[in-house]
Amino acid sequence: MAPIERKGQEKYETIWEEIRRSGFVRIRIDGKSHRLDEVPAIDHRRKHSVEVIVDRIAVKASLRTRIADTVEKALDLGGGVMHVAHVDADRDEAHWKVERFSQHLACEQCAARRRGHRLARFDAGKPIHAFCRSPCQARWFFA
């Protein structure tokens, strides 16, 4: 999924139309999926979590190219950020585990950027850990 930010007082209907023109048919608003032609009325004065559902895929080796294309589209549409929802049939959709992935080396909580970070050698088995140096002191994981 690609998170979408509303620009100022932009109307949600404008966002829905842009998403529709881009060829997507589903969105997720505040943790609940909707077809673009069945979007519920939402309060424009409140901030809502809006994500474009780029694709719905079960991870399999045979779908490697499709997954790569989907990740590329989601990162492009989400400005370098994408979310992956892990479907759990035993839970309500609003309670599914959602992971955030970013191309930016920045704190998720306060947006502080990590400077001077260089990888000497990539090892998929060992994620890199760091702490935000800003007041939030969040822990980062770079994989």
23-34, pLDDT tens digit by residue? 999 999 999 999
106 within 8 A of 117, measured Cβ to Cβ:
no
* Rounded distance between C-alpha atoms, residue 68 and residue 78, angstroms: 15
End-to-end CA distance of the chain: 19
Average pLDDT over residues 79-101: 90
Q: For the chain, what is the domain count?
A: 2
Query: Do 98 and 109 belong to one domain?
Result: no
Determine which helix (DSSP H) or strand (DSSP E) holds 130, and give its type and residue range.
strand 128-131
**Average pLDDT for the chain:** 80
Determine the pLDDT at residue 135.
55
Residue 23 DSSP symbol: T
Burial of 2 (0-12, 13-18, 19+ CB in 10 A): buried
Which structural domain range is residue 122 located in? 105-143
Whether residues 98 and 116 fall in one domain: no
Q: Specify the CATH number for the domain of residue 10.
A: 3.30.190.20
Both 6 and 43 in one domain: the answer is: yes
Same domain? 71 vs 97: yes
Amino acid at 33: S
- Same domain? For 87 and 110 the reply is no
